[in-house]
Structure 1
């Protein structure tokens, strides 16, 4: 079995795969200049992916599937699989595993950090201190919001959403969950609802956190109608995918004060845009990230202690299962996308 490690791995990282699957041939990309060692070009893997049985990585270069004649398994080092051509992989008979749940704690912590940062106006108050500006006490423009006793709607009550719910309960918040299959239960949340009750949950929530996978059904599913259903002065946090939210209605709501604050670790991926995306400053064509009631981080939730090692461990586990013809614990449904 040949395993292609799709990043410029260290010797120790390569050895972890080799030790776990001792009979395998483990290779990495051809050395090349790169800004991040996780960058990957087709040229750097062309010779090896043609006969690789398994691919492990964060990036699948365009054209790779055209030459991957023996590929049987992709260990995708993300939770979301929307960047993969799932329909084609199904046709080719390639299985996919992902990292669902592996990063739930750091992402949940990031969501809580963003929520607190917005509620407590931390960036505004920090800058006031830096500038030496006075901060009036009990004034509308400086007063913080509370989490204690407030209601948070967690949209997507999977492993990440459940980890967020657990941490919100520690702040004595009421937690309402929305999930595709509410029959799976509320977990630590106080109540759980199906997607048909989304507006009901939005109307009750002081805070809304998006932690749902992006699929054909959820892409752009937060639009003007959903924002209108939210409470005036809601705090909205997105740690899932930028394209879950329609950007223009969100921008308008932030400008109008309908939304008190927006925080995101994820931003928009523009498709079929003209002028092309590269003409616009990332991460937002409207400049949402520059608004004073917005906190942003650039896909940094997983950039935390121990996460990389844990991600590698998860993929090693999947490769061991595959090499021993065992069921793949973290296999995704190629039709559902998760």
Structure 2
């Protein structure tokens, strides 16, 4: 049985989303009042405005009890993205505020970014691009090695959900052998998507030439990619992460792996801290140092982005709030 929405909703929208708020209005109605919290830091939210909200649509900021205790009228908080590691869901539950994430948009865009990183690093596109600028009397004879032929290359996909499967569907036409690790899928699903399911990460890393990460950040998955795993892999591994920065135990292990050659190349759309704090690896990347050039690709957490996916993301997050308020449907609730 449906519920009645308030006649004039007050909707909070956070940093990263910018006006005009047409997607949110398309879902919730053109008469909504939008309060724009245009900051990454919840400490800068206006307490008085927080108390007025019926709906809170959140992207970048961490949301803790400092914010939640002020949400006196809010009935649902929806994260624009899929991850929810920065949201205190227990505090929301205690406050009687529903929570949803937003897996309704854009797995194709993240998958395309992961594929671009994998292929670019495998084919050494970035290294060639730089080196070719300085060739004068030679050209085609300038090979970079090793370069793996796709149908002799094994790729491991960690996390076989909607994005992981989108990546798998892109890998298979190239002829890659694809392995998958995800403790939460069945053998039947692995067979249906055409991969070999591995029993653990150690087994996967031991067989792979490239590994790409596509799982959420939880207490279980935090720091799951360790230096010990890298030692099990073949020398010259390519590692791509478009999921969450803290899946990898730290940038020290990435730096050590690239310097030793255990890692041939790394693609990171996500980092442990964003924007990145000073670190020897990040500093070397910023300086475009010779030893690292073309082997480390960093993008600013934009794997999800296309013009279409951004609009879709915003509409779907607001539509989730509308369904909850108007129809009593709690779409995309996250189990404890």
Please give the range of the TM-score, normalised by the shorter of the 2 chains: 0.7 to 0.9
**Is the counterpart of residue 328 in structure 1 residue 327 in structure 2?**
no
Structure 2 partner of 1:158 = 161
Runs of 5+ consecutive residues of structure 1 not aligned to the other structure: 31-36, 271-276
Q: SS of the residue aligned with 1:322? A: helix
From 2, 7, 12, the counterpart of 1:4: 12
Find 1:119's aligned residue among 122, 126, 130: 122
Partner of 1:311: 313
**Residue equivalent to 1:281:** 278
- Report what 2:57 is aligned to: 56
Q: Deviations over 1:149-188 (max 9, x none)?
A: 4211100011111101110012111211111312272242
Contact kept in structure 2, 1:56 and 1:76, CA below 8 Å: yes
CA distance in 1, matches of 2:185, 2:111: 20
1:46 corresponds to: 47
**Cα-Cα RMSD:** 2.8
Q: Distance in 2 between matches of 1:234 and 1:268?
A: 21
- Find 1:26's aligned residue among 33, 57, 66: 33
Q: Please, which runs of 5 or more residues in structure 2 have no aligned partner?
A: 1-5
Instruction: Tell me the alpha carbon deviations over residues 6-39 of structure 1, each in whole angstroms, 9 at most, x when there is no partner.
Output: 356434x24x434433497432227xxxxxx675
Among 86, 90, 93, the residue aligned to 1:87: 90
Distance 1:29 1:40, change over 3 A: farther
C-alpha distance after superposition, 1:248-305 (max 9, x if no partner): 22321211111211111111229xxxxxx98x43795674675232122111212323
Separation of aligned partners in 2, 1:45 and 1:169? 50
1:53-101 residue CA offsets vs partner (Å, 9 max, x unmatched): 2101313466322321222211111211111122322322322222225
CA contact under 8 A between 1:135 and 1:142: conserved in structure 2? Answer: no
Larger mean CA deviation between 91-100 and 235-244 belongs to 91-100
Q: Secondary structure at the match of 1:164?
A: helix
- TM-score for both structures, normalised by structure 2: 0.83
* In structure 2, C-alpha distance between the alignment counterparts of 1:305 and 1:59, rounded to whole Å: 18
Equivalent residues, number: 316
Relative contact order higher in (CA < 8 Å, ≥ 6 apart): 2
TM-score when normalising by structure 1: 0.83
2:141 corresponds in structure 1 to 137
